[in-house]
């Protein structure tokens, strides 16, 4: 099932993101958490590739399990930074053999270790090259790409970022998922600019429910996202109480989703981070809106 065939136009639909385990011993608990999320029957689930503390080894196992046993369409993430064409092509073939035809094509982060390593064996510099390879192997793959309402941290300016984004879409991305953001106006502004630049594919906003105060610094560091005063006040007030912070963070994310839908956005991706309770609460908060 191609994700682009599932995107709704008139009603709100939610998808959830999970990440694979970091160690072999964590596999069973992560598998169970992802199954609990699958039971909520989101429109699709994405499984990251080595992001959020997970390794790349289990991405496909988790994605396959969700698809085969819970019949939830899956999106397998794949990164190309520091890889050779041979290993990446083998991964793409593995994904195809698993019956998954949705791939999120990413470069991957340039960690400090990678920044300082020998790049002579690297075959990829940017995600656009991965998009081209996936489409060359099988034009039928539905390929997604990442986009950044607040600009990718390495970009000199937004115009340059959007120019490269257009190149990525033209290479074969059928949809784009955004980096997390905490102020919807930043997304609306971004949408206006990319539409003006001729990018017409569906944009799926990514919403991260911040459910504990420690997550805040990490989220900002990873994404460079702007924290509106409204959100900072909430962390100041509730950050010391885990239960209150969780409730407030879920309410904030719910509110963002309602505002997105009220402004015409129908498909929203939730960075549910292997937390079935958080995914379930957001879904139940929206039960009458989801219909």
Residues that bind ligand FAD (CB under 6 A): 48-51, 77, 79, 106-109, 126-128, 146, 152, 154-155, 161, 164, 167-168, 177, 179, 206
Long-range contacts of 1-6 (CB under 8 A, 24+ apart): 1/73, 1/101, 1/102, 2/101, 2/102, 2/142, 2/174, 3/44, 3/73, 3/75, 3/102, 3/142, 3/144, 3/174, 3/175, 4/142, 4/174, 4/175, 4/202, 6/43, 6/44, 6/73
Taking the C-alpha atoms of residue 138 and residue 3, their distance in angstroms, rounded to an integer, is 16
Taking the C-alpha atoms of residue 109 and residue 91, their distance in angstroms, rounded to an integer, is 18
Q: Which is nearer to ligand FAD, 49 or 261 (CB)?
A: 49
Taking the C-alpha atoms of residue 83 and residue 98, their distance in angstroms, rounded to an integer, is 21
β-pair partners for 144: 104, 175
Sequence-distant (6+) residues with CB within 8 A of 110 are 81, 154
SS3 assignment, position 37 = helix
Helix residue ranges, H only, 156-228: 158-171, 184-196, 213-223
Q: Any idea what DSSP says for residue 179?
A: P
Helix residue ranges, H only, the chain: 27-38, 59-70, 85-97, 112-115, 127-137, 158-171, 184-196, 213-223, 229-238, 242-262, 276-285, 287-290
* 17 noted as active-site residue: yes
Catalytic positions, written as ranges: 17
């Amino acid at each position: 099932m191609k994700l682009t065939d599932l995107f709704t136009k008139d009603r709100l639909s939610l998808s959830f993101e999970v990440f694979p385990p970091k160690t072999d011993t964590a596999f069973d608990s992560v598998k169970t958490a992802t199954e609990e999320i699958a039971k909520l029957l989101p429109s699709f689930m994405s499984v990251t590739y080595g992001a959020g503390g997970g390794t790349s080894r289990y991405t496909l196992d988790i994605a396959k399990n969700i698809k085969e046993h819970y019949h939830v369409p899956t999106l397998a993430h794949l990164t190309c930074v520091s890889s050779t064409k041979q290993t990446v092509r083998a991964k793409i073939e593995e994904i195809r053999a698993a019956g998954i035809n949705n791939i999120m094509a990413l470069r991957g982060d340039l960690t400090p270790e990678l920044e300082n390593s020998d790049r002579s064996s690297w075959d990829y510099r940017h995600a656009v090259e991965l998009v081209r390879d996936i489409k060359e192997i099988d034009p039928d793959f539905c390929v997604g790409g990442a986009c950044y309402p607040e600009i990718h941290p390495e970009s000199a300016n937004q115009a340059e970022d959007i120019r490269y984004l257009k190149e990525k879409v033209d290479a074969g991305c059928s949809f784009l998922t955004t980096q997390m953001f905490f102020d919807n106006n930043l997304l609306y502004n971004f949408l206006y600019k990319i539409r003006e630049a001729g990018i017409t594919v569906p944009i799926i906003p990514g919403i991260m429910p911040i459910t504990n105060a420690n997550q805040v610094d990490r989220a900002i560091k990873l994404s460079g996202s702007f924290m509106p005063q409204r959100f900072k006040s909430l962390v100041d007030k509730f950050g010391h109480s885990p239960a209150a912070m969780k409730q407030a963070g879920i309410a904030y994310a719910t509110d963002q989703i309602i505002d997105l839908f009220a402004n015409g956005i129908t498909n929203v991706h939730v960075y549910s981070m292997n937390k079935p309770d958080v995914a379930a609460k957001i879904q139940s908060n929206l039960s009458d809106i989801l219909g």
